Structure 1
Amino acid sequence: MYTKTFNDFQDNRWSKTDIKVFDFDIKKDIESADISFIFTHTIDPQYKNVHMELVIKYPDGKSYNISLNPQLKDDSGNSYSDCGENYCEVKMNVKQDMKMPAGKYEITLENKYDEDYLPNVNSLGITVESDD
């Protein structure tokens, strides 16, 4: 239904000031949709988790905030990510069985990492899926 991926991270760095915006239109009311977040990173990102803030803005102007903190590694350093030869990927459900009235939506994703940028980022994506 809707998928968008950002992979424009210079030197694989996601700056704190670079808020990613995903905007899309829903043509007809949807009774049940799932929103997923996809994060790809280098093989060894050098951190265990990623602090982010996701905001869903509905057509009526109301917003829904979600704090995301996907775990990339356990305490022993074992990866939770699905790794290939050159990168690793984490996918997580953000919202399930969400009613989505027709209209314009905006999802923003903000880096809440403690430093000026989050290193070793390959891409960020949002997927909205529905059986309708």
Structure 2
Amino acid sequence: MKLKITFLFLLLMLLISCNSKNIFSETKEGFTANQWQKKEAQQFTFTVNEDNKNYNFSVTISHVYNYQFESVPIEIGITNPRGETEILLFDLLIKDAKGKDKGDCLGDLCDLKQTFKKNVKLSKGNYTVQVSHRFNYDYLPNITSVGLEVDKTE
């Protein structure tokens, strides 16, 4: 019995360690009253250790179930090691064409991940990514977290 448990534990550890494509993942939480204020851009800093590899950038967001909007206007600034900043504007799609939540929902919360930049070649160095919303009001309601993930592509 002990051998089976040890084998399952080792198999689980192997599966977890195989996700070496992810070089960065961070989530910002704690929005007061679940309101993401327009003036509170979320900033993420990470380091690329390998030169000239391709990467995907994804934004993650957690929101209250049955969100009142179909999409959220997002602005992302990516500053490279040379200090140059690229600004990206896009709509984070919360619901599909039939009005169903696109995220993984459990209970009252839904987690959504959307890739916004694919197969981009990065140089070694430190990067800063700033994520903000372009909603028409002072805050975006019913948001519990915002995050960034950066993965190597093969």
Quick one: distance in 1 between partners of 2:53 and 2:100? 38
Which of 87, 100, 108 lines up with 1:78 in the alignment?
100
Instruction: List per-residue Cα deviations over 1:80-105 (Å, max 9, x = no partner).
Output: 22211121122111111111111110
- Give the gaps of 5 or more residues in structure 2: 1-22
Match of 2:33, SS state, is: helix
Report the counterpart of residue 115 of structure 2 in structure 1. 93
Name whichever of 82-91 and 4-13 sits farther off: 82-91
Percent identity, aligned pairs only, is 27
Quick one: distance in 2 between partners of 1:19 and 1:95? 19
| Structure with the higher fraction of residues in helix conformation | 2
Report the counterpart of residue 32 of structure 2 in structure 1. 10
Would you say the 8 A contact 1:82–1:90 is kept in 2? Answer: yes
Which of 59, 62, 82 lines up with 1:40 in the alignment?
62
Name whichever of 72-81 and 15-24 sits farther off: 72-81
* Greater relative CO, 1 or 2 (CA 8 Å, sep 6+): 1
The change in CA–CA distance for 1:97 and 1:86 in structure 2 (over 3 A counts) is: same
Quick one: distance in 2 between partners of 1:80 and 1:123? 16
* RMSD between superposed Cα atoms in Å: 1.6
- Give the gaps of 5 or more residues in structure 1: none
Quick one: distance in 1 between partners of 2:153 and 2:69? 36
Name which one, 1 or 2, has greater alpha-carbon Rg: 2
The change in CA–CA distance for 1:129 and 1:119 in structure 2 (over 3 A counts) is: same
The change in CA–CA distance for 1:100 and 1:15 in structure 2 (over 3 A counts) is: same
Aligned length: 132
Which of 91, 94, 104 lines up with 1:69 in the alignment?
91
Q: TM-score, normalised by structure 1?
A: 0.91
Report the counterpart of residue 27 of structure 1 in structure 2. 49
